[in-house]
């Protein structure tokens, strides 16, 4: 096994920055490396920090950072969208089936997009007005309520958490209809734990900051405040985290079932003929063993890439996405990138690009033509193909997806 302090030429696919950072990104800013080095210098981080190919500056720690911690967790490193991730469903349909449906019935992809937007609430703060539209929803409410009760998770800060289940959110969250390299139809979406997860995260970030201040712990950044194992605050965070991660997982499953229902209705069939489904987090913490040591592994903008584990790595709207299988590379802490990663902030993207630029990039794709999505233009993100090239020793590509329909939260 290669020691984390050896020179970069001894690490295939990676370079070293400082003594305890391994970097897989060929496109990286100095600020991202600086943040990684600050995290790696924390006394409970071991054996090293891994930067994914899509890494970019974040709050306290960079998005695209994999952080192993011993006897401590950093709530802000997990982030405020606990359990954010991807779900993809391969159906039994092909592009020719869609073309035939359009030709024979006279429907459009725009009609399908509108049905999706009607079934799934979009945008922050836009929740379900009722709870009984879909029969499959009730079981998820019951599971989450039982989990909260059994682990004493306090949800008083989010009385409408049930209405949030099955809602998309905003920013870079999206829903897409895609085709793979064989023209098989995939349903595809990206979302997390919504407002309830944000409230849980914010509560524990503040607790960690308050404790570190009380203990006079010097921190390079307040968003690196941590909770030590053995404290009640640590125990409470892990229980709340487990609930929020489960909410995020079920939220994606709920939206996917709704998407599949309206897609099947649009196709004029009883069901979407599901072939396989992949549902994976990319903002979370869990117990794992690395280099012979039990750690709390935080993947902040990274997916599990243990050998044989399937995951989804999306590009941006207008570019390709990838279905992958992990290679179990120990030097990356068995992790891989979670997407393209931003090149420009939302403010900078709006300065550089126009609605017309976005229209050109989205040619041939059904989407809501709106200036509010300019900051999501593919040019605001890193080149997903370069990200995947950088990840060649982390994952095997199973499928390449190209979207034909896109729905975004505002």
Give 15's pLDDT tier (boundaries 50, 70, 90).
low
Taking only the tens place, the pLDDT of each residue in 336-387 is: 999 998 999 999 999 999 999 999 999 999 999 999 999 999 999 999 999 9
Q: How far apart are CA 195 and CA 215, in angstroms?
A: 30
Nearest-CA neighbor of 227 among 236, 218, 197?
236
Q: Which of 233, 208, 231 is nearest to 221 (CA)?
A: 208
User: What does the pLDDT average to over 217-237?
Assistant: 97
- Report, as an integer, the average pLDDT of 231-253: 98
pLDDT on residue 164:
96
Q: For the chain, how are helix, strand and coil distributed in percent, rounded to 5?
A: 35, 25, 35
Query: Each residue of 71-103: pLDDT tens digit?
Result: 999 999 999 999 999 999 999 999 999 999 999
pLDDT band at 8 (very low <50, low <70, confident <90, very high): very low
Question: What is the pLDDT, as a whole number, of residue 18?
Answer: 52
* Residue 5 confidence (pLDDT): 31
Mean pLDDT of 204-216: 97
Ordered by where they begin, the domains of the chain are 23-343+381-408 (3.90.1860.10)
In this prediction, residue 16 carries a pLDDT of 60
Residue 13 pLDDT class (50, 70, 90 cuts): low
Burial class (CB in 10 A: 0-12, 13-18, 19+), 182: exposed
User: What tens digit of pLDDT does each residue of 286-296 get?
Assistant: 999 999 999 99
Binding residue ranges for GMP: 172-176, 282-283, 314-317, 321, 338-341, 408
pLDDT per residue as tens digits for the range 257-281: 999 999 999 999 999 999 999 999 9
What b-and-e string marks burial along 29-45, b requiring 16 or more CB atoms within 10 Å of the CB? eeebbebbbbbbebebb
Does 2 have pLDDT greater than 70? no
Percentage of residues in the chain having pLDDT higher than 70: 95
- Residue that the structure tokens 């505002």 belong to: 410
pLDDT at 222 (0 to 100): 95
Q: How far is Cα 140 from Cα 247, in angstroms, rounded to an integer?
A: 9
Q: Provide Rg for the chain, Cα atoms.
A: 21
CA angle at 265 for the pair 373 and 248, rounded to the nearest 5°: 50
* Structure confidence at residue 130 (pLDDT): 85
* pLDDT recorded at residue 361: 94
Residues making up the binding site: 81, 172-176, 190, 282-283, 314-317, 321, 338-341, 408
**DSSP of 41-64:** TSTTB-S-EEEEEEEE--SSS-EE
Higher pLDDT, 290 or 2: 290
pLDDT digits over 125-150, tens only? 889 998 889 999 999 999 999 999 99
Binding site for Mn(2+), by residue number, is 81, 173, 190, 282
Residue 235 has pLDDT above 80, yes or no: yes
How does pLDDT run across 23-68, given as a tens digit for each residue?
A: 999 999 999 999 999 999 999 999 999 999 999 999 889 999 999 9
Q: Which band of pLDDT confidence, cut at 50, 70 and 90, is reported for residue 10? A: very low
Selected catalytic residue, list 56, 204, 281, 338: 338
Annotated catalytic residue 338: yes
**DSSP assignment of 304-315:** E--TT-EEEE--
Instruction: Check: CB of residue 338 under 8 Å from CB of residue 54.
Output: yes
d(CA 86, CA 186): 13
């Amino acid at each position: 096994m290669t020691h984390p302090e050896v020179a970069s030429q001894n690490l295939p696919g990676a370079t070293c920055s400082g003594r305890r950072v391994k970097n897989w990104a060929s496109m990286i800013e100095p600020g991202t490396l600086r943040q990684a080095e600050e995290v790696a210098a924390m006394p409970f981080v071991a054996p090293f920090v891994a930067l994914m190919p899509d890494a970019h500056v974040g709050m306290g720690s960079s998005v695209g950072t994999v952080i192993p911690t011993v006897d401590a967790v950093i709530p802000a490193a997990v982030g405020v969208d606990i359990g954010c991730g991807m779900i993809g469903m391969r159906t039994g349909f092909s592009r020719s089936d869609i073309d035939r449906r359009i030709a024979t019935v006279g429907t459009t992809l725009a009609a399908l997009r509108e049905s999706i937007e009607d079934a799934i609430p979009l945008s922050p703060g836009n929740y379900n007005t009722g709870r009984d539209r879909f029969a499959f929803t009730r079981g998820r409410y019951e599971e989450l309520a039982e989990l909260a009760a059994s682990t004493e998770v306090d949800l008083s800060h989010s009385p409408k958490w049930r209405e949030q289940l099955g809602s998309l959110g905003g920013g870079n969250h999206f829903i897409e209809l895609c085709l793979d390299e064989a023209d098989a139809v995939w349903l595809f979406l990206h979302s997390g734990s919504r407002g309830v997860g944000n409230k849980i995260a914010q509560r524990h970030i503040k607790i960690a900051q308050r404790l570190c201040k009380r203990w006079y712990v010097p921190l390079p950044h307040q968003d690196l405040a941590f909770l030590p194992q053995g404290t009640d605050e640590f125990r409470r965070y892990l229980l709340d985290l487990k609930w929020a991660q489960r909410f995020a997982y079920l939220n994606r499953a709920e939206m996917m079932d709704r998407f599949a229902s309206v897609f099947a209705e649009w196709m004029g069939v009883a069901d979407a003929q599901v072939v396989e489904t992949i549902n994976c987090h990319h903002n979370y913490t869990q117990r794992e063993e690395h280099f012979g040591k039990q750690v709390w592994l935080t993947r902040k903008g990274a997916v599990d890439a243990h050998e044989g584990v399937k995951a989804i790595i999306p590009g941006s709207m207008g570019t390709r996405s990838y279905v992958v299988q992990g290679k179990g590379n120990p030097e990356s802490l068995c992790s891989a990138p979670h997407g393209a990663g931003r090149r420009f902030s939302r403010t900078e993207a709006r300065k550089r690009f126009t609605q017309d630029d976005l229209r050109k990039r989205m040619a041939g794709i059904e989407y809501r033509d709106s200036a509010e999505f300019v900051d999501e233009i593919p040019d605001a993100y890193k080149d997903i193909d370069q990200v995947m090239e950088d990840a060649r020793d982390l994952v095997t590509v199973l499928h390449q997806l190209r979207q034909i329909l896109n729905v975004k939260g505002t």
